[in-house]
Amino acid sequence: MAAMETLSEAITRLAGAAYVHDFRVDGGQLVCDRCGARFDPSQMTIDQIVRFEGISDPDDQAILYALGTGSGALGLYAAAYGAAASTDDIAVSRALPNPRTPTVDLAEFA
């Protein structure tokens, strides 16, 4: 059985694919630690989601989002989920667009 990818391995892999900005939650927005720009989570795109489940401890559950911004910057947002998730992380995770629902520009059909 192959070993599952760790959070640090996933961060390294995605950083190698240009996801070089780190986002954190502040006041319901995602803030880039590198440049200080603030983003509304609902305006970001989710390019990849990687979940990590604690084998021996349910508190080790985490989720890593590979996100794109409207300005073209790519970055990562890591959060706990399950019982260890903060209310701020839950709110931002819910505000992110559903990656399974494609965005359609209705003007294209007018």
| pTM (2 d.p.) | 0.82
pLDDT, position 106: 52
Is 40 a residue whose pLDDT tops 80? yes
**Which whole number is the average pLDDT over 27-37?**
93
Question: Is the Cβ–Cβ distance between 74 and 22 less than 8 Å?
Answer: no
Contact yes or no for 30/38 (Cβ under 8 A) = yes
Residue 69 has a pLDDT of 92
What would the pLDDT profile of 67-84 be if each residue is shown by its tens digit? 999 888 999 999 988 778
| pLDDT computed for residue 49 by the predictor | 92
